Structure 1
Amino acid sequence: MARGIDYGGMMHRAMQGLIADVLQGVADGGLPGEHHFFITFDTRDEGVQMADWLRERYPEEMTIVIQHWFENLTVTHEAFTVTLNFGNAPEPLYIPFDSVRTFVDPSVEFGLRFETQDGDEDEDEDDEDDADDAAPDAPQGGAEVVSLDKWRK
């Protein structure tokens, strides 16, 4: 029997799908208006393909910018490829969506952050309990944490 509904995994895949849809729109029609993206990914992910010299320079993670100059943007359900210019040297990158850590479009103050899944499920449950205990003190820097109970009737 199933343990329950994996809402976290479903949300993770949905957010990856959103990024894929956005990138596919850019591949089809270019960047609209002032939109541009900062995408941070884990260069240690086994599926990432990049030049050796870039991997040496960015051994853990790398942030790319898709804005003024990019070519060959292609998108699949699992990954995207793009050629970017690094000091007048065009380099192709293959980036699986599972390696993406952040996706930000600063032109509209939109961003997604993916947490790594490298922990025990029990640890995650403990973290959730701690988060519930800390919620009343959490707002710092302009954000407000609101309990779902506030919206229930």
Structure 2
Amino acid sequence: MSRSIDYGNLMHRAMRSLIHDVLTGVQEDGLPGQHHFFITFDTGHPDVMIADWLSDRYPGDMTVVMQNWFDDLKVDDDGFAVTLNFGDAPERLYIPFDSIKTFVDPSVEFGLRFENSESESPTPIPLSRDTAPSSVADQDDDGDDLPPHKDADVVSLDSFRKHPN
């Protein structure tokens, strides 16, 4: 009987623990400085709780942004719940840590990508303000587009996904 150390799963647990600790700090003290997060998760995960219209619109995965407006962040051992604003419609979401595919904080060029297989290690995402971000416009209260601002930089996660040859 061969035994080995499962480094992949150990790394996944450590990186999810890091996300847990970061979000717990935000729950207690708010977002510091210019920090903000882009979190992509598997909407089909059995423990994800999102509105039906969101799961219909995003049947595979969804990226949420925790930046300017989020409310009632609650972190537990298995995941986190947060209320986010979707076009003036607040929605409560519960996102288990093991449903997270990517966690990115572009303000400090930090990111993690979790591979599909639990035996593979999470991959740091290389971020560069000069090459990776693209701009997203915010909307004001009347729904009018506002010009993009620095905090609205988004990293295209598709460029970091594995594509079949």
Normalising by structure 2, report the TM-score: 0.70
1:42-61 to 2 correspondence within 5 Å? 42-61=42-61
Matched residue, 2:76: 76
Structure 2 Cα separation of the partners of residues 49 and 2 of structure 1 = 39
Deviation of 1:2 after TM superposition, in Å, equals: 6.3
1:90 maps to amino acid: P
Matched residue, 1:102: 102
Structure 2 Cα separation of the partners of residues 3 and 71 of structure 1 = 46
Matched residue, 1:26: 26
| RMSD value, Cα | 1.6
Count of aligned pairs: 121
2:79 maps to amino acid: A
CA shift digits 1:57-92 (9 cap, x unpaired) = 000000000000001101111110000000111000
7-16 or 109-118: bigger deviation = 109-118
Matched residue, 2:111: 111
Structure 2 Cα separation of the partners of residues 112 and 36 of structure 1 = 14
Partner secondary structure for residue 74 of structure 1:
strand
2:37 maps to amino acid: F
Matched residue, 1:87: 87
Normalising by structure 1, report the TM-score: 0.75
Gaps of 5+ in 1: 125-140, 142-153
User: Post-superposition, which runs of at least 4 consecutive aligned residues in structure 1 deviate over 3 A?
Assistant: none
> Percent identity among equivalent residues?
64
CA shift digits 1:81-110 (9 cap, x unpaired) = 000000111000000011000000000000
Q: Who wins on radius of gyration, i.e. which is larger?
A: 1
Structure 2 Cα separation of the partners of residues 7 and 84 of structure 1 = 35
Gaps of 5+ in 2: 121-130, 132-165
Structure 2 Cα separation of the partners of residues 80 and 6 of structure 1 = 26
71-80 or 35-44: bigger deviation = 71-80
Structure 2 Cα separation of the partners of residues 21 and 4 of structure 1 = 28
